[in-house]
Amino acid sequence: MGAYVRHEGGFTAARTRGSLRWTGLALIAALLLCVGLSLAPSRASAADSVYVDYPPQGGVFNGPPYDYMGRAFPDVFPLPPVYLPQVTGAVQAETSPGVYGGPICKGGTLGMCGIYHWRTVLDTFGEDWKASDSETVVNPGANSFADGNYRVRVGQASGIGLDPLWAENYFHVDSTEPTTAIDLGPNLYNNNAAATMHFEFSGTDPVVNNYASGIDYFNCKLDNGPWDHCTAPGGSAPYTYDLIASEGAHTLYVRAVDKANNEDASPAEHSWIIDETPPDITINKPLNKDRYLLHNGPNPIFSCVDPLAGSPPGASGIASCTATPINDEDLGPHYFTVTAIDKAGNTSQKTVAYTIDPPDYGDFVMESHPLAYYRFNEALGSDVMVDSSGNGHNGIYQNGIALQRDGATNCERRPHPPRVCELAHPAENKAAYFPARDGHGYVNGITAPTTAYTMEAWVKPRDGANMMVMSHGGGGQLFISGGNLAFRQVQDTIYSNGAVPPGVWSHVAATWNGSVTRLYVNGILVASSTTANKPPSGTATFYIGYGEMAPWFHGDMDEAAYYSTALSQHRIFDRWKVGVAKDNPSLVAGNSPFNTEGPATDPDSPKNGGLYAPGKTPHADFDCHDPDDLPGDSDIASCTATVDGNPILSGDPLPDSPGVHTFVVTAIDEGGNTYVHTHTYTVKTFKDLFNTDGPVAYYRLGDGPGPVMADSSGNGRNGEYKNAQDSGPLGISGDGDHARNFFGTSGYGFVNGIAAPRFQSTIEAWVKPLGDPDPVSTDFVGGSNPAGWSVQNIWNPGGTAGVSDNVLYADGASFGTNATFGSGRTVNFVANIPAEPYSHAGFGADYNNPPWAMFSVKGDGRLYARTSNGVDPAVETDLGTGYLGSNHRYTIDWHADRLVYYVDGDPVAVHAVSFGPVQMRPLISNYSAGGASVAVDWLRLSPYANRNQSIVGHGDGGEIYIKDGYFVYRRMDTSVTSSVAVRPGEWQQVVGTWDGVDIRIYVDGVEAGKVESTKRPSSVSTFYVGYGELAPWFNGSIDEVAYYPVALNTNRVFQHWLADPPPDDLNAATNGVQPDDVSDIHPTPGAGGGTDPSGTSDEPKSDDPGSSDPGSGDPDNPTSDDPSTDDPSGDPGEGADDGTVEPIYEKSDKPKAAANRSKAAKAKKRRAAVRKCKKISKKSKRKACLKRARSI
C-alpha cells in the first residue's frame, strides 16, 4: 500500500457541513503541528495527508475489490492549514495503455469521474475511511469492473485555497479463467509400475482489456484422488511434474491457476495405462498331446486376451497374436506355439505338443488313385491276386507263391505294431513270398498309360541276385540289377546306385512323366533320365515278380501299386516314412507336458494266447519301456501287473488252474502317459493243449499192448503198430500217459491216407533215442573195470580207483579211458563228488594238465565248473557246496566255441573257451587217498556212435530222423540239420516246421536251424512213427507225435516244450527256464548265441492262436496235384538190425526175438533202478524205492 502526493489546482469540495465542524478542525490544528508527523505512516512523506490502504498498490483481483480503504491527515505545516474533512475519489479504468479516466461525470468534480465515485466526510481527526461509509455524489459510476488495469484515486481538498492532496493505487482485475495444456506425458501404454511418469504443463491466461494476470501454478488430480498443487506458486515454464503410479488405467487431471486465482474449470487430462500383466492365451486346437494323421493336421484355433489388472483396472490390449505353423508333414511330435504381445510390450507364449501319426497305409495309397494295387493279403493257399484299387484288375498267382507272410509296413504288422499306429489303427496286412524260380503273379488286359505312370512296391530280396519286381509288356520294367534298382521305360533303361539289400525291406519306385524317368529307393531319388520320350502303347499282361530284364523275383514283396500318373518325390518319400513308422522320443522326457510319447510293454511271459499245462506255467516276466528311455535313465514311473485282477510281480509264478487267465500290465511314464497291455493265456490238459492248433493227427502213443495207434486229434486217423515195438515207460506229459518203445529192427506205427498239407505244416515228437553204445559209455556193472578204462596213480602211492558193486570209486587216483573224442560230444554221468579238495570229474587231454573241462572241488571245499585250454586264462564258475556229498547227474556239452555245464539238467555255466582239434578222454580223479572217494554210477558219451535212425515221416510232407548224432528235418528235396546234438538216453523235443518258405528245426523249444524250402507237397501217403525213408528203424522211446497243417511259430513250439519238460525221474527237468535263459546253450549255427523264441525271427509269426497263427490253411481240404505219388497203403515191413527191409510179418507171427528184446530191456532197467535204491541210507525210503523198482 502506498501514498502519492499530487498538488493539482481546481479541486473544490462538492459540499460543506456546519461551522462546528470547521471550528473543531481549527482547534486541532495546533495538535497536528505536534503529532502529525508521528501519526503518519513511516513510508509516507511528511506532507502526505491522503493514503489508499486498499486495494493495495499493484493488487490483482478476479473481481471488483471488496472495499476501498484509506486514511486522511492534514499537513502539519504551515499553520494553520486547514483541509476539508472529506475525501473524494474514483476508481478509474485504463482506457488505453497508460491512460486512465473515463467519461466526465455530469456535475462531478473535474478529474474525479470514474467507475466508482465517492466522497467521505471524516467525523474526527485522523479517522480512517472506507467506501462503505462514503457519501456518494449525485452521479456514481458502476460497481461492476471489467477485466483490466485500474487505479483508485482519491483526493482531499483544501479549504483555504491550498492545492488538493491526491493519493492513488494501481490494481488489476482478472476474472477470466486460464486454459491448461499437458504438453508432455507418459506413453499411453507402459509396463513398469516402478517407473517415474514425467509430465510437462503449460497454461494460457487470456488478455482482456490489455491485461492478464498470468499463470501462477497448477493443480493436479490423479484418477479420483484429491486436487492438490502439482507445481509451486510463482513458477515459470516449463512446468514439470513427476509421479509413480501402480499398475492400472490412470488419468491425470491438470488445472492452471492464474495470479488472480482464477482456476481452469475445464482441466486438461492425460490418460495412460501401466500394464505389467502378460496377455492370456487360449489354444482350443490343437490341444496338448492331440494326435493327427499325416497331412491331416488341425486348423489351429486360438485366441489372445489382455486381462484387466491393477487399480483402477486396465489393460493395454493385444498388439499381436501369432502362432507357429502346423507341421503335419513330418511324423512324430511337434510344438505349436502361440505368441501374444500386448500394447505395453508384455509378451506371453503358450506351447502345446501335438503328434503326427502315420495313416493306414492302404488308405494312403488310395489317395493317389492307383490303376492297380496288390496288397498280397489273400488267405493261405489262394491263387487269386486281389486288386485293392477298386478297378477290378484281379490277377493270378502262379507256381508256389507263399501267402500270409509278415507285411512290410510297420503299422500293419502284428502282433504289436508301434504305438504311433493306434490312431489310424489299420488292419493287419500280409506279404507274399516269391520262390527263386517260376513264382509270379499276372494280370491280363491292363492298358498301358501313355502319358505318365508310376510303379512302386516294398521288397525284401532273399539274396543278392538280379531279379524282376514288376513289368508291363513293352512299357515299364522295374528290376534289381547288381543289387541296385534299375528301370526300363520302353527303350530307355537306367541303372542306379540305389542299393536294394537282401534280407531287409526296401521301398522301390519308378516314375515316368512323359519325358523323364526317375528311380527312388526308400523315398530318395537315385537316378533319372531325360531321354525316355517314347510312350508305352497297347494292352498287355502286367506281371508281379516277372519280366524281361531279369530272372524271377526271389523274396518277400508287399504293397505293389501301379498308377497312371507320375507320383511326386514328396508323395513317394511319404510312402517310405509311413511304412517305417516307429515310436519317436517325446520333445521333452520326464515330468513335462511335452512328454507326449507314452510307454509300452510286451510281456515275455505269459505270451498272448499262450498255452500251458497245469503245473507247467512259467513265471511272470515283464518290463516296461518308453521311447524316452536313455541308458541308465528310464522314463518309466511305474510298471505293474495283475493276473485275473490280482497284483503280480515279475518273477512270480503264474496261476496254473485250468481255464483262461488274463494278464494285464500297466505302464505309466514320468509324463503321466499310460499304456495298458493285456495278454490272455490258457491252462489246458496236456492233450487239449496239443489239440488247440487243429492237428491233422495226434498220436500220444500211450496205447496198450494192442496194435491200435490211436489218433487223439478227434479226426479219426487211427493207425497201427507193427513188429518190434511195445508200450513203453511213462511219457513226458506228466498225466500218466505212456510213451512207446521201438526196438530198432522192425517196429513202427503207420497210418494210411493222410494228405500232406500243401501250404504249411509242423511235425513234432518227443524222443529218447538209444542207438548203439559208444565204447566209452559204461554202467560200471559188476566189480571189474570196464574195457578201455585204466587207473593212473600220479599223486599218492596208496591211491586207488576201480569198480566195486556197480560203482566206480576214485580214492587218491585217477580213472579214465584210453579212447579219446573230439568236440561236438557230451559227457553225461551220475556221480557223488565229495567235499574234498581236488576231487574232479569231467574230461581232459591228460591226467594232470590242461586242456580240460571239469566239475572240480578246489582247496576252499567248494564245487566249481572249470575250463582251461592251456593257453588262455582258466574260466571258473562257483557252484557252491549244495551239490557235494550226494548223487547228481552232471553234463558237459563240448561245442566248438564253448563249454556248457549242467547239474541235474539245469544249465549252471557257459564258458566261451575253444579247445581246437584236441582229443579228450573222460577223467575221474581224487587227490587225497584214504578220504572220501569220488563215486560214479554210470558215464555215457553221446551222441552214441553209428546210429542213424528214423523218428517220424510223411513222404514229401516231411520227415524227422537222426543222422551222425544230430536231428535232421527233411521236406520235399530239402533238409535242415539241427545245431544241437542228440542226447541218447535222454528225452528231447524235436519239431520240424514249414511256413511255405522255410523249414525250421527246433530242439527242446529252441530253433536250431533253418533252410529255404518252397516246393509244395501234393501227395496222399502213409504217415510213419519210428520209420522213414532215409534212416533205419528207431531204437528207443517216442512220445507225443503231432502233425499240424500250419507252421507253429517259435512261441508255440516253446510252449509245447514248456508243457512237456521231462520229469526228474525220467531225466533232467529244466524247471521252466525260458529259452532266452538258455540261449547260449543251444545256439543257432553261426549266430554266436541262441535264438530267442520270445523275440521275432526273420519271419516272425503271430503268437495269437485265434488268428492266423497257427490256424491258417485248410487242413480238411488239401489240394493234391498228384494223389498217386505215394502208396497210401505202403508198409515198410520188418527189417534187420542194419535197417534193411525184410518181409512183413503178420501180427500173429511176430518173432520171439522181439519179445525177448523187450524183456531184456525191462530187466536191464529194473536192475539199474535196484542199484540206485540200494544206495539210499534211510531204511524206510530204501525199502519203498526197491518195491517200486522191482515192479518194473
In sequence order, what are the residues at sequence separation of 6 or more whose Cβ sits closer than 8 angstroms to the Cβ of residue 291?
354, 355, 356, 357, 423
DSSP assignment of 10-41 = T---S----HHHHHHHHHTHHHHHHHHHHHS-
Dihedral, CA of residue 336, residue 342, residue 347 and residue 352, to nearest 10: -20
Q: Which of 641, 659, 684 is the last residue of a domain?
A: 684
Out of 639, 654, 684, a domain closes at: 684
User: Which residues, including other chains, have CB under 8 Å from residue 315's CB and lie 6 or more apart?
Assistant: 249, 273, 275, 277, 306, 307, 308, 309, 342
Helix, strand, or coil (residue 1108): helix
State whether 240 and 209 are in the same domain: yes
- Distance (Å, whole) CA 258 – CA 179: 9
Residues in the chain: 1192
Neighbours of 31 (CB within 10 A): 12
Positive or negative, the CA dihedral 50, 51, 55, 56 is: positive
Residue type at 867? Answer: T
- List, for residues 1021-1035, the tens digit of each pLDDT value: 999 999 998 889 998
What total number of domains does the chain contain?
8
The residue whose grid cell reads 492237428 is: 695
Burial code (b: 16+ CB inside 10 Å, e: under 16) for 955-984 equals bbbbbbbbbebbbbbbbbeebbbbbbbbbb
Q: Is residue 930 part of a domain?
A: yes
Phi, psi at 113, each rounded to 5°: -75, 135
Pair (54, 129) in one structural domain = yes
CATH code at position 552: 2.60.120.200
Residue 600 — φ and ψ, nearest 5°? Answer: -150, 165
E-strand ranges in 906-954 read 906-911, 921-926, 934-942, 949-953
Whether residue 986 lies inside any domain: the answer is yes
130: domain CATH number is: 2.60.40.1220
Inter-axis angle of helices 1152-1174 and 1179-1190, nearest 10 = 180
- Which of 916, 940, 964 finishes a domain? 940
Whether 472 and 514 share a structural domain:
yes
Confidence at residue 33, expressed as pLDDT on a 0 to 100 scale: 35
Q: What does the alpha-carbon distance between residue 139 and residue 90 come to, in Å, rounded to a whole number?
A: 11
User: What's the sign of the alpha-carbon dihedral 922, 923, 924, 930?
Assistant: positive
Which residue in 415, 402, 403 sits closest to 1050, CA to CA? 415
Taking alpha carbons only, the member of 299, 344, 347 closest to residue 325 is 299
How much is the pTM? 0.69
Q: Take residue 920 and report the three cell numbers written for it.
A: 579228450
Query: Which grid coordinates belong to 849?
Result: 594238465
Q: How far is 842 from 924, CA to CA, in rounded Å?
A: 7
The answer to whether residues 265 and 291 belong to one domain is no
872 and 969: one domain? Answer: no
Give yes or no: residues 653 and 615 share one domain. yes
Residue 57 lies in a domain: yes
Q: Is residue 1124 part of a domain?
A: no
Evaluate the omega torsion of the peptide bond into residue 286 and state whether it is cis, within 30 degrees of 0: yes
Nearest to 155 by CA among 187, 117, 193: 117
In this structure, how many other beta carbons lie within 10 angstroms of the beta carbon of residue 904?
Answer: 17
Residues 6+ apart with CB under 8 A from 965: 824, 942, 943, 944, 981, 982
Q: What is the CATH number of the domain that holds 310?
A: 2.60.40.10
Closest C-alpha to 899, from 933, 850, 860, 938: 850
d(CA 973, CA 1011): 11
Q: Is residue 4 part of a domain?
A: no
As a whole number of angstroms, the distance between CA 677 and CA 411 comes to 17
Question: Alpha-carbon distance 475 to 488, whole Å?
Answer: 8
CA 770 to CA 523: how far, in whole Å? 58
DSSP code per residue over 877-907: EEEESTTTTSEEEEEEEE-SS-EEEEETTEE
What pLDDT, on the 0 to 100 scale, is given for residue 125? 59
* Contact status, residue 979 vs residue 784, Cβ threshold 8 Å: no
Helix (H, G, I), strand (E, B) or coil at 1168: helix
Q: Are residues 1180 and 1069 in the same domain?
A: no
In this prediction, residue 794 carries a pLDDT of 75
Distance CA 734, CA 161 (A): 165
Handedness of CA 1062, 1067, 1071, 1073 (dihedral sign): negative
Question: In the numeric block, which cell numbers belong to residue 555?
Answer: 523274396
Which residue shows C-alpha cell 542226447? 983
Q: Is 222 in a helix, a strand, or coil?
A: strand
Same domain, 134 and 184: no
Q: How far apart are CA 158 and CA 599, in angstroms?
A: 122
For residue 372, the model assigns a pLDDT of 98
Say yes or no: 1097 and 1159 in one domain. Answer: no
Whole-number pLDDT of residue 1183: 58
For residue 286, the SS3 value is coil
Are residues 1113 and 1026 part of one domain? yes
For residue 523 the three cell numbers come to 523315398
How many Å separate Cα 263 from the centre of its chain?
74
- In 649-799, DSSP assigns E strands to 659-669, 674-683, 697-699, 708-709, 719-722, 725-730, 738-743, 748-755, 761-769, 789-792
Question: Which DSSP helix (H) or strand (E) runs through 217?
Answer: strand 215-222
Where are the strands (E) in 435-516, listed by range?
440-447, 453-461, 467-472, 476-481, 484-489, 492-499, 506-512
CA distance 447 to 441: 17
Supply the range of the domain harboring residue 290.
Answer: 280-357
290 CB neighbour count, 10 Å cutoff:
15
Residue 228 burial (CB count, 10 A) = 9
In the block, residue with C-alpha cell 497245469: 614
763, 1115, 770: which is closest to 969 by C-alpha? 763
Structure confidence at residue 1155 (pLDDT): 43
In sequence order, what are the beta bridge partners of 1000? 993, 1010
* Residue 605 falls inside a structural domain: no
Grid coordinates representing 264 are: 481452469
Q: Distances in Å between the alpha carbon of 112 and those of 154, 382, 414, 941, 1133?
A: 8, 138, 124, 159, 171
Query: Are residue 761 and residue 669 in the same domain, yes or no?
Result: no
Q: Using the CB atoms, write b or e for 66-76: b if 16+ within 10 Å.
A: eebbbbbbbbb
The answer to whether residue 1052 sits within a structural domain is: yes
Radius of gyration of the chain (CA): 59
Residues of the chain with pLDDT under 70: 1-48, 73-83, 102-113, 123-126, 133-143, 159-160, 771-773, 775, 943-946, 1061-1192
- Cis ω before 593 (30° cut-off from 0): no
Co-location of 950 and 1006 in the same domain: yes
Amino acid at the residue 123: D
Structural domain contains residue 490: yes
CB 247 within 8 A of CB 193: yes
